[in-house]
Amino acid sequence: MSKKWSMFALSLTLLSGSLTACSSGSDSAKAPSGGNGDNKPAKLKIGIGTEGLQYIEGSPNINDDKYTKKLRELSKTDVTLDLIPHREFDQKLTLLFAGGELPDLLQTHGINKPEVAPAVDTGILIPLNDLIDKYGPNLKKNISKEAWDFASVSKDGKIYGIPTTNPTPNGNVMMVRKDWLDKLGLKPPKTVDEYIDMLRAFRDKDPNGNGKADEIPYSGREKLAFTEAFFGAYDVLPADWKFENGQLVPNMIRPQMKTALGVYKKLYEEKLLDNEVFVQQAKDWDAKIKAKGIVGLWTHAARMADKWSAEVKTGTPSAQLEVIPAPTGPDGKGGFGIGSQVGGNVWVIPKTTKNPQAAIQFLDWFYSDEAQKFLTYGLEGEDYTVDNGKINYKFPQKQDEIYKEEMHQNWLRLVGPSYLTNNEFMKARPSGDLVLKAIDLANKEGRKNDGMGMPALPTLQSRPELGKDGLWLELAAKIVTGKESVDAFDKFVEDWKKRGGDQVIKEATEWYKSTHK
């Protein structure tokens, strides 16, 4: 066992212990009050994204779901979940803030995101400092100062959001069909060239054994999502930034990006990369990997390695999963972006909320022992039984059971520590060791983002097309699919700078120098 892994395991143990200590006694979360002196449960309308999860998007009415009902019962809060489609999440938030009816509690991906930042500046979102001090003892104790001060959570010393937290800052790893590697006599690849050789073998040598040339070597989702590994090999993860030559510059315009796009163009042309990668929805991506069993390599969250291991068997019972290091580039390094302990979701409260106290108390409840037991184990009698005080959890095996578990373990866990911090649960979990291996791997690789924590830049707020999902994505799609030459990148950089990019770099550099003295 490596020293680094030992420290990680120790941190999980300490976090689990601190949770027990803080969620008992005088700081135990109290039920939100309706505010009318009638002891009725407070009503909260919550705007929450579907995250592309099959259980959520397939529900005829998420508010009639048994887990939602249990959430109401245990939290003593009359919760109504207002779903925001995953594919339209950013656009829907923009429309909501522009004049739609806002929920009482709203999921965002950070107050510094272009679709959210104007709502902070115009007073649509309320500061939460005093409310947290008065009604959120568990939030205050368990969320670190670093997380509260992060740009996606606070601005000018005022807290505008309640953050989720990450058990590990590096989220994604490479997942490969180990049975395919074994059948073809291949060792896990390391470099970009070795990865390409492996993908060609997946394409040409019928590793699924059905006699058809139907294998998709590497697959991802729309907008190149979950395919960033080869960008990482060249240290140009598209959403990240690098401080060089006295300036903070977006990776999407750095010279190495041109090389990386050339690699993706080759992968696409040779059908080593799924040719539907710019438009493919989550459900179709899932079906290719799981039900059809025709994908050899993909990228996803380290914490979900056990779920993927089980899910690939639903379509191919003999399938085996392995997690492997991301491809390394010319400098011998690779991996995905090294993130923050602050998670991807930040919960905000609009000024139209009639009972913000109840919203804070509701989120504070998630740190209670009661909440953690429900979110980790689900429903007694259905997901687990109790024998002499010991919980016997029914670990999921079928696909629908896996989707159902994701609902209560992750989607409904609005804030609070992950089930990954529950050592007893993880030790008993089938393939729990694969999850721990994936997390260890994620912690050993990755690329530093010098723009980590940067607030929404004024020019990017007014000119969102200058961001990753604007002009750059349009160019990347044209180059990768062969509609444009790789040399089109040079003109893109020139045009990007003229259209406001130079001002973006100036603003980013001023922020960086002011915070990295």
Give residue 83's pLDDT: 97
Sorted by sequence, the CB contacts under 8 Å of residue 424 that are 6+ apart come out as none
Give residue 35's pLDDT: 53
- Average pLDDT estimate for 57-64: 96
Q: Give, for 442, the enclosing helix (H) or strand (E).
A: helix 432-444
Give residue 410's pLDDT: 93
C-alpha to C-alpha distance for 257 and 238, rounded to whole angstroms: 8
C-alpha to C-alpha distance for 246 and 463, rounded to whole angstroms: 24
C-alpha to C-alpha distance for 214 and 195, rounded to whole angstroms: 19
Burial group, residue 390, by CB count within 10 angstroms (0-12, 13-18, 19+): exposed
C-alpha to C-alpha distance for 486 and 471, rounded to whole angstroms: 15
Sorted by sequence, the CB contacts under 8 Å of residue 401 that are 6+ apart come out as none
pTM: 0.73
Q: What confidence tier does 503 reach under pLDDT thresholds 50, 70, 90?
A: very high
Q: With contact defined as beta carbons under 8 Å apart, do 71 and 412 qualify?
A: yes
Spatial CA neighbour of 413 closest among 382, 384, 376, 383? 376
- Average pLDDT estimate for 54-67: 96
- Average pLDDT estimate for 223-248: 96
Give residue 140's pLDDT: 96
DSSP 321: E
C-alpha to C-alpha distance for 318 and 507, rounded to whole angstroms: 53
410: left (phi over 0), alpha (psi -120 to 50) or beta: alpha
- Average pLDDT estimate for 47-65: 95
Q: What is the pLDDT of residues 87-112, one digit of tens each?
A: 899 999 999 999 878 999 999 999 99
* Mean of all residue pLDDT scores within the chain: 91
- Please give the residue that has the higher pLDDT: either 154 or 16: 154
Give residue 25's pLDDT: 35
Q: Where are the alpha helices (DSSP H) in 63-116?
A: 66-75, 89-97
Has residue 77 got a pLDDT over 60? yes
C-alpha to C-alpha distance for 351 and 80, rounded to whole angstroms: 18
Q: What is the pLDDT of residues 287-320, one digit of tens each?
A: 999 999 999 999 999 988 998 999 999 899 999 9
How many C-beta atoms surround the C-beta of residue 197 within 10 A?
13
Q: What are phi and psi of 142, to 5 degrees?
A: -95, -20
Give residue 504's pLDDT: 98
- Average pLDDT estimate for 117-122: 93
- Average pLDDT estimate for 413-419: 93
Spatial CA neighbour of 137 closest among 366, 290, 293, 305? 366
- Please give the residue that has the higher pLDDT: either 466 or 22: 466
Q: What confidence tier does 3 reach under pLDDT thresholds 50, 70, 90?
A: very low
Q: What confidence tier does 30 reach under pLDDT thresholds 50, 70, 90?
A: low
Q: Compute and round to an integer the Cα radius of gyration of the chain.
A: 23
Q: Give, for 324, the enclosing helix (H) or strand (E).
A: strand 321-324
Q: Are strands 216-218 and 295-301 parallel, antiparallel or unpaired?
A: parallel
Sorted by sequence, the CB contacts under 8 Å of residue 349 that are 6+ apart come out as 104, 105, 106, 125, 126, 128, 131, 356, 359, 360
DSSP 455: P
Give residue 127's pLDDT: 98
Give residue 423's pLDDT: 79
C-alpha to C-alpha distance for 382 and 176, rounded to whole angstroms: 33
C-alpha to C-alpha distance for 227 and 297, rounded to whole angstroms: 10
Q: Give, for 346, the enclosing helix (H) or strand (E).
A: strand 342-348
Q: Give just the sign of the alpha carbon dihedral 133, 138, 142, 148.
A: negative
No. of helices (H) and no. of strands (E), the chain: 23, 15
Q: What confidence tier does 16 reach under pLDDT thresholds 50, 70, 90?
A: very low
- Average pLDDT estimate for 200-229: 96
Range from 280-289, 348-357, 430-439 carrying the lowest mean pLDDT: 430-439
Q: What percent of the chain has pLDDT over 70?
A: 93
Give residue 431's pLDDT: 86
Range from 152-156, 455-459, 464-468 carrying the lowest mean pLDDT: 455-459
Range from 73-82, 102-111, 142-151 carrying the lowest mean pLDDT: 142-151
Q: What are phi and psi of 152, to 5 degrees?
A: -80, -5
Has residue 324 got a pLDDT over 80? yes
- Average pLDDT estimate for 237-254: 97
129: left (phi over 0), alpha (psi -120 to 50) or beta: alpha
Has residue 494 got a pLDDT over 90? yes
